[in-house]
Amino acid sequence: MRIVLSGGGTGGHIYPAVAVARQLEAEEKHTEILYIGGTRGLESKLVPQENIPFKAIDITGFKRKLSLDNVKTVVRFLKGVKSSKEMLREFKPDVVIGTGGYVCGPVVYAASKLGIPTLIHEQNAIPGLTNKFLSRYADTVAVSFAGTESSFPGSKRVIYTGNPRATTVTTANPQRGYASLGISEGSTVVLVVGGSRGAKAINNAMIEMAPFVGKGKGVHYVYVTGEPYFEETRKVLRQKLGGLPNGLHILPYIHNMPEVLACTSLIVNRAGASFLAEITALGIPSILIPSPNVTNNHQEANARQLEGEGAAVVILEKDLSGKALHGVIQSIIGDEDLRQKMSQHSLRLGKRDSAGVITNELRRLISNKK
């Protein structure tokens, strides 16, 4: 099986594509994969690190306001379609998969025009502009949240698959997670993370809350600042606390996130779709602080899906403070019945076989083409 993957801009678009690649490699011995990404996106760094062959096109997204830059974007799109067609003709894929981000636009569009079967995956509860555009051309639209199929009226085929990133975490080893953090097995881990680069609002709340954390017996706060905020945040906390308590662990980034998630009892985080797929696959209760700085406020829509099912508590950034956050954490950690109920609700929302569902759909598309 020969597969082209495309997705970029953020890890939320890249990691689902990588999860599909790993699932195909496990299921099909002779799978060959090419990843087409952007020259400027995070995928240009992450994908080669995964040892997946990578080629790039130069593409940017549309501005929401009238701008000369949009004219340049149209020109780049047309050039990207031409370059994508050349790459696709050379590689001869059986199917092309887009997982979001503007780089998918020219790649999936080019594949459609060449008669190559296509599938796009929408991670969020509110679709992005690129996937709304591509849904008119793709053979299959896959969605992460049950009930959001209606967001793609007029599409050829829309199916609920869940997010393939969920499959990645289900085999993670919690013992390795504890060991990597230097925490005793069986301890209660409260993981606080604001995304791959951190979130200033969450960091500020944690600094306010710091004098109250790390005091509960057997409770460990793992606080991931993001690389840009790490040194300054650690310096402020040391000054504020006169040193760091044993129960507070401050890290700039976590490279083995699936293993750390596997040993986590409660998570405080943004509401990016891939992260929500991971925590529901593992049944982790969550406190979600959606980023207000995203298109169509889609993170709040993602978070409300979990909150509505009893799996999460949502705190909007405008209402966030150290006192408010600490109060919600304590209400969950201090009530084992509540935490277990939230865990059960979270697990019910998780779709653990998402990557497998998508690879089965890819086979169906290829078989229909033949």
Would you say 231 and 250 are in contact if contact means Cβ atoms under 8 Å apart? Answer: no
d(CA 198, CA 221): 16
Average of pLDDT values for 242-247? 84
- Cβ neighbours for 308, distance < 8 A, ≥ 6 positions apart: none
Neighbours of 158 (CB within 10 A): 19
Is 224 in the same domain as 142?
A: no
18 and 163 inside one domain: yes
Mean pLDDT of the chain: 91
Q: Looking at the structure, do residues 114 and 232 belong to the same domain, yes or no?
A: no
| SS3 (DSSP) at 235 | helix
215 and 294, same domain (yes or no) = yes
The phi, psi pair for 3, rounded to 5°, reads -125, 135
> How many domains, the chain?
2
Whether residue 186 sits in one domain with residue 75: no
Contacts of 346 (CB under 8 A, 6+ apart): 279, 280, 282, 283, 284, 285, 286, 306, 311, 312
One domain, residues 336 and 358 = no
* Structural domain harbouring 228: 171-349
Q: What pTM was computed for the model?
A: 0.83
Whether residue 132 is found in the same domain as residue 178? no
CATH number for the domain harbouring residue 142: 3.40.50.2000
Give one DSSP letter per residue of 73-98, joined into a string: HHHHHHHHHHHHHHHHHHH--SEEEE
Q: How far apart are CA 351 and CA 360, in angstroms?
A: 15
Asked if residue 147 and residue 14 are part of one domain, the reply reads yes
Which carries the bigger pLDDT value, residue 286 or residue 70? 286
Instruction: Mark the binding-site residues for UDP-N-acetyl-alpha-D-glucosamine, compressed into ranges.
Output: 10-12, 124, 196, 254, 299
Residues 83 and 188 in one domain: no
CB atoms within 10 A of CB 318: 7
Domain match, 233 and 342 both: yes
* AA identity, residue 289: I
Q: Burial of 223 by CB count in 10 Å (0-12 exposed, 13-18 middle, 19+ buried)? A: buried
Binding-site members are 10-12, 124, 196, 254, 299
pLDDT digits (tens, 9 = 90+) for 142-198: 999 888 899 999 899 999 999 998 988 988 999 999 999 999 999 999 999 987 778
Judged against a pLDDT cut of 70, whether residue 63 lies above it is answered with no
Give percent of the chain with pLDDT exceeding 70: 96
Q: Are residues 284 and 327 in the same domain?
A: yes
Residues 196 and 51 in one domain: no
